[in-house]
Structure 1
Amino acid sequence: MQASGRYLAVTPTDSAWLDKGNSEATLFRLVPSHQEKGWGDDLAINDSIKLESINYKGYKVQCINYPLETSYHLVLSVTGSIFSIKPHCYKRSTLNPQYILGGNVIMLSSLKIDGYVSVKGSFVNDKLPDEFKWSHNEVGLRRWRQGFFKVLPFSGNTFFQLEKTTHIWTGNPFVFGEECRIKHLPTQQYISVKDTSDGLKVCLIQQL
Protein backbone atom coordinates (compact mmCIF):
# COMPACT_ATOMS: atom_id res chain seq x y z
CA MET A 1 0.00 0.00 0.00
CA GLN A 2 1.56 3.28 -1.13
CA ALA A 3 0.39 5.42 1.80
CA SER A 4 1.60 3.11 4.58
CA GLY A 5 4.56 1.47 2.84
CA ARG A 6 3.17 -1.95 3.76
CA TYR A 7 2.02 -4.95 1.74
CA LEU A 8 -1.20 -6.93 1.52
CA ALA A 9 -0.83 -10.28 3.29
CA VAL A 10 -3.30 -13.12 3.81
CA THR A 11 -3.20 -16.81 4.82
CA PRO A 12 -5.78 -19.63 4.67
CA THR A 13 -6.43 -19.20 8.41
CA ASP A 14 -6.26 -15.39 8.75
CA SER A 15 -8.04 -12.48 7.11
CA ALA A 16 -5.88 -10.01 5.20
CA TRP A 17 -3.63 -7.54 7.01
CA LEU A 18 -0.92 -5.05 6.06
CA ASP A 19 2.58 -6.44 6.57
CA LYS A 20 6.00 -4.78 6.45
CA GLY A 21 6.96 -7.17 3.67
CA ASN A 22 8.79 -9.76 5.76
CA SER A 23 6.09 -12.42 5.37
CA GLU A 24 5.78 -14.85 2.48
CA ALA A 25 2.04 -14.22 2.73
CA THR A 26 2.60 -10.95 0.83
CA LEU A 27 3.53 -12.70 -2.44
CA PHE A 28 0.81 -12.97 -5.09
CA ARG A 29 0.54 -13.82 -8.76
CA LEU A 30 -1.82 -11.97 -11.12
CA VAL A 31 -3.78 -14.60 -13.05
CA PRO A 32 -6.48 -14.07 -15.71
CA SER A 33 -10.06 -14.58 -14.58
CA HIS A 34 -11.23 -16.06 -17.90
CA GLN A 35 -9.95 -17.75 -21.04
CA GLU A 36 -9.60 -14.59 -23.16
CA LYS A 37 -6.14 -13.97 -21.72
CA GLY A 38 -3.49 -16.47 -20.74
CA TRP A 39 -0.15 -16.60 -18.96
CA GLY A 40 2.39 -14.29 -20.58
CA ASP A 41 -0.19 -11.91 -22.09
CA ASP A 42 0.24 -8.21 -21.32
CA LEU A 43 -1.73 -6.81 -18.38
CA ALA A 44 -3.80 -3.72 -19.23
CA ILE A 45 -6.07 -1.22 -17.49
CA ASN A 46 -9.56 -2.67 -16.78
CA ASP A 47 -8.35 -6.27 -17.16
CA SER A 48 -10.13 -8.75 -14.88
CA ILE A 49 -7.76 -10.68 -12.63
CA LYS A 50 -7.56 -12.97 -9.64
CA LEU A 51 -4.88 -12.72 -6.95
CA GLU A 52 -3.28 -16.12 -6.44
CA SER A 53 -1.15 -16.73 -3.37
CA ILE A 54 2.42 -17.81 -4.15
CA ASN A 55 3.07 -19.37 -0.77
CA TYR A 56 -0.31 -21.11 -0.47
CA LYS A 57 -0.73 -22.87 -3.80
CA GLY A 58 -4.24 -23.26 -5.11
CA TYR A 59 -5.62 -20.41 -2.98
CA LYS A 60 -6.83 -17.05 -4.24
CA VAL A 61 -7.95 -13.83 -2.53
CA GLN A 62 -11.72 -13.66 -2.01
CA CYS A 63 -14.04 -11.00 -0.57
CA ILE A 64 -16.50 -12.26 2.03
CA ASN A 65 -19.12 -10.41 4.04
CA TYR A 66 -20.12 -11.08 7.62
CA PRO A 67 -23.85 -10.39 8.27
CA LEU A 68 -23.22 -8.09 11.23
CA GLU A 69 -20.63 -5.94 9.43
CA THR A 70 -20.97 -3.41 6.61
CA SER A 71 -17.52 -4.08 5.16
CA TYR A 72 -15.99 -7.08 3.42
CA HIS A 73 -13.01 -9.14 4.55
CA LEU A 74 -10.27 -10.50 2.32
CA VAL A 75 -9.53 -14.19 2.84
CA LEU A 76 -8.04 -17.06 0.85
CA SER A 77 -10.27 -19.56 -0.93
CA VAL A 78 -10.06 -22.01 -3.81
CA THR A 79 -12.36 -19.98 -6.08
CA GLY A 80 -11.30 -16.39 -5.34
CA SER A 81 -12.93 -13.09 -6.31
CA ILE A 82 -12.50 -11.26 -9.60
CA PHE A 83 -10.84 -7.84 -9.43
CA SER A 84 -10.45 -5.16 -12.08
CA ILE A 85 -7.18 -3.25 -12.59
CA LYS A 86 -7.77 0.51 -12.31
CA PRO A 87 -5.37 3.49 -12.45
CA HIS A 88 -4.85 5.22 -9.12
CA CYS A 89 -5.80 8.66 -10.51
CA TYR A 90 -9.55 9.28 -10.37
CA LYS A 91 -9.30 11.69 -13.34
CA ARG A 92 -7.39 9.25 -15.53
CA SER A 93 -10.23 8.60 -17.99
CA THR A 94 -10.33 12.28 -18.99
CA LEU A 95 -6.57 12.86 -19.18
CA ASN A 96 -4.09 12.75 -22.02
CA PRO A 97 -2.18 9.44 -21.59
CA GLN A 98 1.08 11.36 -22.07
CA TYR A 99 0.59 13.35 -18.85
CA ILE A 100 2.98 12.74 -15.96
CA LEU A 101 0.97 11.84 -12.86
CA GLY A 102 1.84 11.83 -9.19
CA GLY A 103 3.39 8.45 -8.41
CA ASN A 104 4.59 7.78 -11.97
CA VAL A 105 7.88 5.90 -12.31
CA ILE A 106 10.32 7.86 -14.46
CA MET A 107 13.92 8.08 -15.65
CA LEU A 108 15.68 11.44 -15.90
CA SER A 109 17.90 11.80 -18.96
CA SER A 110 20.33 14.54 -19.90
CA LEU A 111 19.75 16.32 -23.21
CA LYS A 112 23.39 17.33 -23.72
CA ILE A 113 25.08 14.16 -22.44
CA ASP A 114 24.01 10.60 -23.23
CA GLY A 115 23.25 9.65 -19.67
CA TYR A 116 20.62 9.11 -16.99
CA VAL A 117 20.45 10.24 -13.37
CA SER A 118 21.59 7.22 -11.37
CA VAL A 119 22.32 6.21 -7.78
CA LYS A 120 25.68 4.63 -7.11
CA GLY A 121 25.75 1.40 -5.14
CA SER A 122 22.05 0.72 -4.57
CA PHE A 123 20.80 -2.77 -3.76
CA VAL A 124 18.23 -3.59 -6.42
CA ASN A 125 17.66 -7.28 -5.69
CA ASP A 126 18.28 -7.42 -1.94
CA LYS A 127 16.57 -6.16 1.18
CA LEU A 128 18.04 -2.78 2.06
CA PRO A 129 20.32 -2.90 5.14
CA ASP A 130 19.45 -0.40 7.88
CA GLU A 131 22.91 1.18 7.77
CA PHE A 132 22.48 1.89 4.06
CA LYS A 133 19.17 3.65 4.62
CA TRP A 134 20.82 6.33 6.71
CA SER A 135 23.91 6.91 4.59
CA HIS A 136 24.20 9.75 2.08
CA ASN A 137 24.55 7.98 -1.24
CA GLU A 138 25.99 9.49 -4.36
CA VAL A 139 23.66 10.63 -7.11
CA GLY A 140 25.23 11.19 -10.51
CA LEU A 141 24.83 10.81 -14.24
CA ARG A 142 25.25 7.34 -15.67
CA ARG A 143 26.62 7.50 -19.19
CA TRP A 144 24.41 5.68 -21.64
CA ARG A 145 25.00 5.86 -25.37
CA GLN A 146 21.38 5.48 -26.36
CA GLY A 147 22.07 6.36 -29.98
CA PHE A 148 24.48 3.44 -30.24
CA PHE A 149 22.71 0.75 -28.22
CA LYS A 150 19.16 1.76 -29.22
CA VAL A 151 17.89 0.66 -25.81
CA LEU A 152 17.08 2.30 -22.48
CA PRO A 153 18.83 1.50 -19.18
CA PHE A 154 17.38 -1.52 -17.42
CA SER A 155 19.14 -0.93 -14.10
CA GLY A 156 16.98 -0.06 -11.09
CA ASN A 157 19.62 2.52 -10.21
CA THR A 158 17.97 4.82 -12.77
CA PHE A 159 14.33 4.31 -11.66
CA PHE A 160 12.69 7.15 -9.75
CA GLN A 161 9.17 8.02 -8.63
CA LEU A 162 7.70 11.52 -8.76
CA GLU A 163 5.76 12.42 -5.61
CA LYS A 164 3.59 15.44 -5.02
CA THR A 165 4.11 17.47 -1.84
CA THR A 166 0.35 17.96 -1.35
CA HIS A 167 -2.51 15.53 -2.03
CA ILE A 168 0.18 12.89 -2.49
CA TRP A 169 -2.06 9.89 -3.06
CA THR A 170 -4.53 11.33 -5.59
CA GLY A 171 -2.32 10.65 -8.61
CA ASN A 172 -3.29 13.96 -10.23
CA PRO A 173 -1.18 15.32 -13.13
CA PHE A 174 1.89 17.46 -12.52
CA VAL A 175 1.98 21.02 -13.83
CA PHE A 176 5.02 23.17 -14.63
CA GLY A 177 6.22 25.05 -11.56
CA GLU A 178 4.75 22.55 -9.09
CA GLU A 179 6.84 21.30 -6.16
CA CYS A 180 7.72 17.62 -6.09
CA ARG A 181 9.89 15.01 -4.39
CA ILE A 182 11.93 12.50 -6.36
CA LYS A 183 12.16 9.06 -4.75
CA HIS A 184 14.67 6.41 -5.79
CA LEU A 185 12.64 3.21 -6.14
CA PRO A 186 15.10 0.50 -4.98
CA THR A 187 16.24 2.39 -1.87
CA GLN A 188 12.99 4.31 -1.17
CA GLN A 189 15.11 7.40 -0.47
CA TYR A 190 14.79 10.91 -1.85
CA ILE A 191 17.13 13.06 -3.93
CA SER A 192 18.34 15.88 -1.71
CA VAL A 193 20.83 18.75 -1.80
CA LYS A 194 23.29 18.72 1.10
CA ASP A 195 25.46 21.67 2.13
CA THR A 196 28.95 20.28 2.83
CA SER A 197 32.39 21.76 3.42
CA ASP A 198 33.11 21.04 -0.25
CA GLY A 199 30.00 22.86 -1.40
CA LEU A 200 26.52 21.70 -2.34
CA LYS A 201 26.20 18.00 -3.17
CA VAL A 202 23.30 15.94 -4.46
CA CYS A 203 22.69 12.78 -2.44
CA LEU A 204 19.95 10.47 -1.16
CA ILE A 205 18.31 10.82 2.23
CA GLN A 206 15.49 9.01 3.96
CA GLN A 207 12.45 11.27 4.19
CA LEU A 208 11.80 12.30 7.81
Structure 2
Amino acid sequence: MLTVILGKVFNHLSLDSNSRLTIISTHAVIGTLVILVAGIWDAVNHIQNSPEFFWSDPHIVVYSGVFMVAIASIFSVNLLMKNSIHGILKRGMQLVIIGSVMQIISGFGDSISHDMFGIDGLLSLTHQPLEIGIVLSALGGFLIIKARQNSNLKAFLPFSIVTFLLITSWLGFNFALYFGHYVQCIPIHLIFSSGCSIL
Protein backbone atom coordinates (compact mmCIF):
# COMPACT_ATOMS: atom_id res chain seq x y z
CA MET A 1 0.00 0.00 0.00
CA LEU A 2 2.72 2.46 1.05
CA THR A 3 4.88 1.53 -1.94
CA VAL A 4 1.94 2.14 -4.30
CA ILE A 5 1.34 5.59 -2.81
CA LEU A 6 5.05 6.42 -2.94
CA GLY A 7 5.24 5.17 -6.52
CA LYS A 8 2.42 7.52 -7.55
CA VAL A 9 4.09 10.44 -5.78
CA PHE A 10 7.44 9.76 -7.45
CA ASN A 11 5.84 9.33 -10.87
CA HIS A 12 4.09 12.65 -10.38
CA LEU A 13 7.35 14.33 -9.39
CA SER A 14 9.01 12.83 -12.51
CA LEU A 15 12.54 13.44 -11.26
CA ASP A 16 15.39 11.71 -13.03
CA SER A 17 17.77 9.42 -11.16
CA ASN A 18 20.50 12.07 -10.89
CA SER A 19 18.11 14.53 -9.25
CA ARG A 20 16.94 11.86 -6.82
CA LEU A 21 20.52 10.96 -5.93
CA THR A 22 21.23 14.63 -5.26
CA ILE A 23 18.19 14.82 -2.96
CA ILE A 24 19.17 11.62 -1.16
CA SER A 25 22.79 12.57 -0.51
CA THR A 26 22.20 16.22 0.42
CA HIS A 27 19.28 15.40 2.73
CA ALA A 28 21.24 12.59 4.40
CA VAL A 29 24.26 14.82 5.05
CA ILE A 30 22.49 18.11 5.90
CA GLY A 31 19.92 16.27 8.05
CA THR A 32 22.79 14.69 9.97
CA LEU A 33 24.41 18.07 10.56
CA VAL A 34 21.09 19.54 11.77
CA ILE A 35 20.74 16.64 14.23
CA LEU A 36 24.29 17.15 15.52
CA VAL A 37 23.88 20.91 16.08
CA ALA A 38 20.53 20.40 17.80
CA GLY A 39 22.03 17.62 19.95
CA ILE A 40 24.70 20.02 21.19
CA TRP A 41 21.98 22.61 21.83
CA ASP A 42 20.10 19.97 23.87
CA ALA A 43 23.26 19.28 25.91
CA VAL A 44 23.56 23.02 26.65
CA ASN A 45 19.93 23.02 27.82
CA HIS A 46 20.80 20.20 30.19
CA ILE A 47 23.58 22.21 31.83
CA GLN A 48 21.16 25.11 32.27
CA ASN A 49 18.73 22.69 33.93
CA SER A 50 16.01 23.69 31.50
CA PRO A 51 12.77 21.74 31.92
CA GLU A 52 13.13 18.49 30.00
CA PHE A 53 10.34 17.12 27.88
CA PHE A 54 10.30 15.42 24.50
CA TRP A 55 8.96 18.33 22.43
CA SER A 56 11.53 20.85 23.63
CA ASP A 57 12.97 23.25 21.03
CA PRO A 58 16.22 21.26 20.58
CA HIS A 59 14.29 18.02 20.14
CA ILE A 60 12.04 19.60 17.50
CA VAL A 61 15.15 20.62 15.55
CA VAL A 62 16.72 17.15 16.05
CA TYR A 63 13.65 15.47 14.63
CA SER A 64 13.50 17.97 11.76
CA GLY A 65 16.92 16.56 10.82
CA VAL A 66 15.57 13.03 11.27
CA PHE A 67 12.72 13.96 8.92
CA MET A 68 15.24 15.14 6.31
CA VAL A 69 17.05 11.80 6.54
CA ALA A 70 13.70 9.99 6.29
CA ILE A 71 13.02 11.82 3.01
CA ALA A 72 16.41 10.62 1.75
CA SER A 73 15.48 7.11 2.84
CA ILE A 74 12.15 7.18 0.98
CA PHE A 75 13.87 8.33 -2.21
CA SER A 76 16.47 5.57 -1.71
CA VAL A 77 13.83 2.87 -1.38
CA ASN A 78 12.14 4.11 -4.54
CA LEU A 79 15.37 4.13 -6.56
CA LEU A 80 16.45 0.70 -5.33
CA MET A 81 13.06 -0.79 -6.22
CA LYS A 82 12.93 0.66 -9.73
CA ASN A 83 16.56 0.49 -10.83
CA SER A 84 19.39 -1.99 -10.89
CA ILE A 85 21.93 -0.27 -8.66
CA HIS A 86 25.16 -1.92 -7.54
CA GLY A 87 28.38 -1.26 -5.70
CA ILE A 88 29.13 1.69 -3.47
CA LEU A 89 26.04 3.59 -4.61
CA LYS A 90 23.74 0.77 -3.53
CA ARG A 91 25.61 0.39 -0.23
CA GLY A 92 25.27 4.12 0.46
CA MET A 93 21.52 4.07 -0.15
CA GLN A 94 21.11 0.99 2.05
CA LEU A 95 22.99 2.73 4.87
CA VAL A 96 20.75 5.79 4.56
CA ILE A 97 17.67 3.54 4.83
CA ILE A 98 18.99 1.54 7.80
CA GLY A 99 20.14 4.71 9.56
CA SER A 100 16.77 6.38 9.03
CA VAL A 101 14.85 3.38 10.39
CA MET A 102 17.11 3.30 13.47
CA GLN A 103 16.56 7.03 14.05
CA ILE A 104 12.77 6.78 13.76
CA ILE A 105 12.51 3.76 16.09
CA SER A 106 14.89 5.37 18.60
CA GLY A 107 12.91 8.62 18.35
CA PHE A 108 9.71 6.85 19.39
CA GLY A 109 11.64 5.13 22.18
CA ASP A 110 13.05 8.48 23.30
CA SER A 111 9.53 9.93 23.44
CA ILE A 112 8.36 7.04 25.62
CA SER A 113 11.47 7.36 27.81
CA HIS A 114 10.84 11.08 28.37
CA ASP A 115 7.19 10.40 29.25
CA MET A 116 8.20 7.74 31.78
CA PHE A 117 11.41 9.14 33.28
CA GLY A 118 11.56 12.84 32.38
CA ILE A 119 15.11 14.17 32.03
CA ASP A 120 17.77 11.99 30.53
CA GLY A 121 21.44 12.41 29.83
CA LEU A 122 23.71 11.82 26.89
CA LEU A 123 23.86 8.15 27.81
CA SER A 124 20.50 6.46 27.43
CA LEU A 125 19.10 3.37 25.79
CA THR A 126 17.49 5.54 23.11
CA HIS A 127 20.23 8.08 22.40
CA GLN A 128 23.00 5.69 21.38
CA PRO A 129 20.94 3.73 18.79
CA LEU A 130 19.75 7.09 17.45
CA GLU A 131 23.36 8.26 17.16
CA ILE A 132 24.42 5.03 15.44
CA GLY A 133 21.61 5.58 12.93
CA ILE A 134 22.83 9.13 12.36
CA VAL A 135 26.38 7.90 11.71
CA LEU A 136 25.09 5.29 9.25
CA SER A 137 23.04 7.92 7.40
CA ALA A 138 26.01 10.29 7.22
CA LEU A 139 28.21 7.48 5.92
CA GLY A 140 25.56 6.53 3.37
CA GLY A 141 25.33 10.13 2.16
CA PHE A 142 29.11 10.29 1.86
CA LEU A 143 29.26 7.02 -0.13
CA ILE A 144 26.59 8.24 -2.55
CA ILE A 145 28.47 11.50 -3.09
CA LYS A 146 31.74 9.58 -3.49
CA ALA A 147 30.16 7.32 -6.11
CA ARG A 148 28.79 10.36 -7.96
CA GLN A 149 31.81 12.64 -7.59
CA ASN A 150 32.00 13.17 -11.34
CA SER A 151 28.62 14.92 -11.17
CA ASN A 152 27.50 18.19 -9.62
CA LEU A 153 27.82 16.54 -6.18
CA LYS A 154 31.63 16.75 -6.30
CA ALA A 155 31.68 20.12 -4.52
CA PHE A 156 29.62 18.62 -1.67
CA LEU A 157 32.17 15.85 -0.94
CA PRO A 158 34.35 17.77 1.60
CA PHE A 159 31.22 18.89 3.46
CA SER A 160 30.01 15.28 3.69
CA ILE A 161 33.41 14.13 5.00
CA VAL A 162 33.49 16.79 7.73
CA THR A 163 29.89 16.00 8.73
CA PHE A 164 30.67 12.28 8.97
CA LEU A 165 33.79 12.94 11.07
CA LEU A 166 31.92 15.30 13.43
CA ILE A 167 29.03 12.92 14.07
CA THR A 168 31.41 9.97 14.47
CA SER A 169 33.42 11.99 17.02
CA TRP A 170 30.22 12.80 18.91
CA LEU A 171 29.25 9.12 19.01
CA GLY A 172 32.80 8.14 20.05
CA PHE A 173 32.77 10.66 22.89
CA ASN A 174 29.42 9.38 24.15
CA PHE A 175 30.58 5.76 24.04
CA ALA A 176 33.75 6.76 25.88
CA LEU A 177 31.52 8.00 28.71
CA TYR A 178 30.42 4.40 29.33
CA PHE A 179 33.99 3.37 30.07
CA GLY A 180 35.25 6.52 31.76
CA HIS A 181 32.09 7.77 33.45
CA TYR A 182 34.02 9.52 36.21
CA VAL A 183 35.70 11.75 33.61
CA GLN A 184 32.42 13.26 32.46
CA CYS A 185 31.86 14.86 35.86
CA ILE A 186 35.05 16.91 35.89
CA PRO A 187 34.64 20.62 35.03
CA ILE A 188 35.79 20.37 31.40
CA HIS A 189 32.95 17.95 30.75
CA LEU A 190 30.39 19.85 32.83
CA ILE A 191 28.20 20.47 29.81
CA PHE A 192 27.64 16.73 29.55
CA SER A 193 27.16 16.08 33.26
CA SER A 194 23.50 15.17 32.89
CA GLY A 195 24.78 11.81 31.72
CA CYS A 196 26.11 11.13 35.24
CA SER A 197 22.59 10.71 36.55
CA ILE A 198 21.87 7.61 34.53
CA LEU A 199 25.12 5.71 34.94
Tell me the TM-score normalized by structure 2. Answer: 0.22
Larger helix percent? 2
Q: Larger Rg: 1 or 2? A: 1
Instruction: Work out which structure has the larger RCO, using CA pairs closer than 8 Å and 6 or more positions apart in sequence.
Output: 2
Tell me the TM-score normalized by structure 1. Answer: 0.21
